Structure 1
């Protein structure tokens, strides 16, 4: 069983570990340098100030096993209803439904924030993440070739999007 709740400052050590594992061992994050807890605390504070959620997935023993959040897609006003999200799950919990569980909660929060489109930017060879997003209703929206580099190779980026509502911008 997995519980989903808002992240708190006490979750920062585990969030940092999950983030740094992804930096060191995956192409899910295209950064090559690990971060410290102060970095992740600043990230959490930035999300909170913006009114955006940072959620954690908790296992039966109370341990943080994943986290997810979203932020602005782009800085300009015309994009104010579009967001890009991130979701990271502890390695030993991959493919156990944790990602989908936390994503459902994040999608719900995005709708409650009045957002219209949620965007996923996923390394093109991360088929498991792409499939999970598709099962949640995301549709492929684009593919950029060789726009990143990590582990000495070029990386492609696949974009997926989920339309969260059918409201016209005039009704907002």
Structure 2
């Protein structure tokens, strides 16, 4: 398995993974499936904004080589959150439990560190203990629970918040000094 930056040619592999998560899981709280044009626009927007989209590719599966993908983007839209990112990881249903998600997460964490981000946030369906355990093994800590903030499949969903501090650096941008002058 290879993990690399996604390309436009990977979209036909990304789309069914996304749609499977929409239709069958609470990994994403969207309810509308999308087409390749939607995912291509999403990929282009992410990359144009400077955020990575990584794919896990298994070339031995020539018919469907993309077995998972991961990305991160802004946690919130306000300037004060610019050092924090939120991530997403999706793995093709026939590849779950084989370490693909964890490998994508490690690569994504490495990328966020290299880009100088301070914190990575995970927002996970609180009932998804498997995902929460993987995150905890990678150093994330549970920091909050938002009860009944979402709904899917006719049920209220609780959102678990986890975070990973990516560095131990003090804030060193003029804004902190300017705020105290």
Instruction: Give the TM-score band, short-chain normalised.
Output: over 0.9
Q: TM-score scaled by structure 1?
A: 0.97
1:120 is matched with which residue?
122
2:41 is matched with which residue?
42
2:179 is matched with which residue?
none
Within 5 Å, give how 1:100-111 maps onto structure 2: 100-111=102-113
Aligned mates of 2:136, 2:24 — CA distance in 1: 24
Question: Structure 2: where are the runs of 5+ without partners?
Answer: 175-181
- Residue 89 of structure 1 pairs with residue 91 of structure 2: yes
Deviation at 1:170, TM superposition (A): 2.0
Instruction: Decide which structure has the larger Cα Rg and report it.
Output: 2
What are the Cα deviations for residues 111-140 of structure 1, in whole angstroms up to 9, with x where unaligned? 111100000000011111100000000000
Aligned mates of 1:170, 1:67 — CA distance in 2: 32
Deviation at 1:46, TM superposition (A): 1.1
Deviation at 1:171, TM superposition (A): 5.7
User: How many aligned positions are there?
Assistant: 171
Q: Which runs of 4+ in 1 moved over 4 A?
A: none
Within 5 Å, give how 1:5-84 maps onto structure 2: 5-61=4-60, 63-84=65-86
- Aligned Cα root-mean-square deviation (Å): 1.1
- Residue 132 of structure 1 pairs with residue 131 of structure 2: no
Q: SS of the counterpart of 1:101?
A: helix
